[in-house]
């Protein structure tokens, strides 16, 4: 695992360079910003990952044979230099899947199981984050992510304040930074940020003392989506084998054949998904027309890239269908939606090529008839609604890890 962890860290550095490159092709200003943000994020990242990892280790080591793990605990709990002004002198962010690493992903998934159980209760609410305030800053349209985050925060008893640029002072010409600092001054523990430009959440992290969760930034990343996808895959795998989710861990991902189909170039979901799945040991194949692939895949932890969907499907355990991101200009990269469907849509005929056990995921919103046929979208193997349901539990886990499961600073 150490080797894989080191590998993925290296990959992260490389792929952030690749991302900057792809941004430059489209939007010079955005590329510059994302470059700066990537550097900020990288510095932040290693610390955050270590801290989340440390919390996990302490929980596990306390279970049984303690002595053997003491050394690593010691290493993990060395406090990182805390930025001033943060609540408790500490803050953690989830800006990229790289922040977590395989161990952190496993922690989030395990914790999500607990929250899935909470959601089944007649009163699906726990007082864990009472008195904390979560601000959702969505500068891009969103239904499920925003509602999902806000539901998650409320189910943890946190207070939620939200604003979107339309109807806020941003529309009057205030800069994002001033707006964020204004909101932060009201006492916010966590910002959930979505923005059309890559790297904005990382910048917000630099402006405030609060934790920041990336809820999707441009073409860059959408880490909680990747986490909820992993949670869904893990759930389905456990059910298939008749096991309790608790018992399967994340071993089920090792060697899992995942095909990510469609608009990879414009998809932050794909970027986070690839990083998460690869970190857990899955074998990822990209299926897309050349025009919808990023200019460079150097450093992406993918097994193969192909344009022949029919060829890949029989060898696929998880088929991840992406939406054609027409609002990011993807429409200009394919001759027509019909032609795209002919080559890369998951039609009824193609769905029949999948092995019986294979599942189909889609990050939503689905455009039926383009990337996925209406009939396929309604098949039992298509687990889109479970993804949404797991989204709340996974986001509860993320918020709890960032705001709740804090480590002691000094002697308590």
Partner 1 sequence: MAERERKLTPPRGGAFVPRVQVLSAADVHRALTRIAHEIVERNRGLEDVVVVGLQTGGVPLAYRIGQILGEMHDGAHVPVGTLDVAFYRDDIGIRPVLPEASTEIPGDLAGTVVILVDDVLFTGRTIRAALNALSDFGRARSVQLAVMVDRGHRELPIRPDYVGKNLPTRFDEQVDVSLDGVVLGDVVPR
DSSP 3-state percent helix, strand, coil across the chain (nearest 5): 55, 10, 35
Q: Which stretch binds partner 1 (CB under 8 A): 118-126, 269-277, 335-343, 379-387?
A: 118-126
**Contact status: 81 vs partner 1 (CB under 8 A):** no
**Contact status: 408 vs partner 1 (CB under 8 A):** yes
Binder among 40, 126, 248, 366 for partner 1 (CB under 8 A): 126
Site string for partner 1, 152-181 (x = CB under 8 A): ----x-------------------------
Instruction: Provide the minimum distance between the beta carbon of 33 and partner 1 in the complex, in angstroms, as a whole number.
Output: 33
305 strand-pairing partners:
286
Instruction: Provide the minimum distance between the beta carbon of 123 and partner 1 in the complex, in angstroms, as a whole number.
Output: 4
Residue showing tokens 């080191």: 6
CB of 393 closer than 8 Å to CB of 299: no
* Cα→Cα distances 336→262, 265, 292, 348, Å: 14, 17, 13, 20
**Contact status: 400 vs partner 1 (CB under 8 A):** yes
**Contact status: 246 vs partner 1 (CB under 8 A):** yes
24: three-class secondary structure by DSSP: helix
**Contact status: 361 vs partner 1 (CB under 8 A):** no
Give the number of residues in contact with partner 1, rule: CB under 8 A: 42
Instruction: Provide the minimum distance between the beta carbon of 250 and partner 1 in the complex, in angstroms, as a whole number.
Output: 16
Question: For 373, which DSSP code?
Answer: -
If the CB atoms of residues 246 and 251 are measured against partner 1, the closer one turns out to be 246
**Contact status: 105 vs partner 1 (CB under 8 A):** no
If the CB atoms of residues 126 and 366 are measured against partner 1, the closer one turns out to be 126
CB of 180 closer than 8 Å to CB of 15: no
Per-residue tokens: 407: 């480590």
**How many residues in total does the chain contain?**
412
321: three-class secondary structure by DSSP: strand
Binder among 97, 128, 184, 377 for partner 1 (CB under 8 A): 128
CB of 392 closer than 8 Å to CB of 148: yes
Burial 280-296 (b: 16+ CB within 10 A, else e): bbbbbbbbbbeebbbee
Residue 412 CA to residue 397 CA, distance in Å, equals: 25
Instruction: Provide the minimum distance between the beta carbon of 106 and partner 1 in the complex, in angstroms, as a whole number.
Output: 12
* Cα→Cα distances 411→88, 292, 406, 407, 408, Å: 13, 53, 14, 11, 7
If the CB atoms of residues 115 and 253 are measured against partner 1, the closer one turns out to be 115
**Contact status: 250 vs partner 1 (CB under 8 A):** no
**Contact status: 407 vs partner 1 (CB under 8 A):** yes
Residue 52 CA to residue 92 CA, distance in Å, equals: 8
Task: Identify the burial level of 27 via C-beta atoms within 10 angstroms of its C-beta, where 0-12 means exposed, 13-18 middle and 19 or more buried.
Answer: middle
Instruction: Provide the minimum distance between the beta carbon of 115 and partner 1 in the complex, in angstroms, as a whole number.
Output: 9
Binder among 114, 154, 381, 386 for partner 1 (CB under 8 A): 114
**Contact status: 117 vs partner 1 (CB under 8 A):** yes
Binder among 6, 25, 74, 291 for partner 1 (CB under 8 A): 74
Binder among 29, 88, 335, 355 for partner 1 (CB under 8 A): 88
Footprint of partner 1 (CB under 8 A):
54-56, 58-59, 61-63, 66-67, 70, 73-74, 76-77, 88, 107, 111, 113-114, 117-118, 121-123, 125-129, 156, 246, 400, 403-408, 410-412
């Amino acid at each position: 695992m150490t080797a894989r962890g080191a590998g993925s860290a290296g990959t992260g550095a490389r792929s952030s360079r690749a991302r900057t490159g792809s941004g430059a092709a489209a939007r010079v200003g955005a590329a510059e910003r994302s470059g700066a943000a990537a550097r900020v994020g990288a510095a932040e990242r290693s610390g955050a990952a270590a801290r989340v990892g440390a919390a996990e280790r302490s929980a596990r080591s306390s279970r049984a044979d303690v002595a053997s793990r003491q050394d690593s605990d010691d290493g993990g709990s060395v406090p990182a230099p805390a930025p001033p002004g943060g609540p408790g002198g500490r803050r953690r962010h989830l800006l990229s899947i790289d922040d977590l690493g395989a161990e952190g992903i496993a922690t989030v998934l395990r914790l999500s199981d607990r929250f899935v159980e909470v959601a089944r209760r007649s009163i699906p609410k726990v007082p864990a984050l009472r008195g904390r305030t979560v601000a959702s800053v969505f500068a891009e349209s969103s239904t499920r992510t925003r509602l999902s985050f806000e539901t998650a925060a409320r189910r943890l008893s946190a207070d939620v304040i939200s604003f979107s640029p339309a109807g806020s002072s941003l529309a009057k010409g205030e800069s994002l930074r001033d707006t964020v600092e204004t909101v932060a001054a009201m006492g916010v523990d966590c910002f959930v940020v979505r923005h059309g430009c890559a790297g904005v959440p990382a910048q917000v992290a630099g402006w405030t003392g609060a934790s920041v969760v990336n809820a999707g930034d441009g073409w860059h990343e959408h880490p909680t989506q990747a986490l909820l996808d992993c949670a869904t895959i893990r759930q389905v795998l456990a059910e298939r084998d008749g096991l309790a989710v608790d018992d399967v861990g994340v071993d089920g991902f090792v060697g899992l054949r995942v095909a990510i189909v469609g608009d990879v170039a414009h998809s932050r979901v794909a970027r986070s998904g690839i990083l998460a799945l690869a970190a857990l040991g899955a074998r990822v194949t990209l299926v897309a027309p050349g025009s919808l692939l990023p200019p460079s895949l150097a450093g992406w932890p993918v097994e193969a890239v192909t344009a022949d969907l029919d060829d890949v499907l029989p060898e696929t355990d998880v088929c991840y269908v992406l939406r054609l991101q027409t609002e990011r200009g993807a429409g200009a990269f394919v001759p027509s939606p019909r032609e795209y469907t002919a080559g890369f849509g998951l039609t009824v005929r193609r769905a029949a090529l999948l092995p019986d056990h294979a599942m189909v995921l889609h990050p939503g919103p689905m455009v039926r008839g383009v990337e996925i046929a209406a009939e396929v979208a309604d098949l039992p193997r298509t687990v889109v609604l479970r993804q949404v349901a797991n989204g709340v539990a996974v986001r509860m886990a993320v918020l709890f890890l960032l705001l709740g499961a804090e480590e002691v600073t000094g002697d308590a």
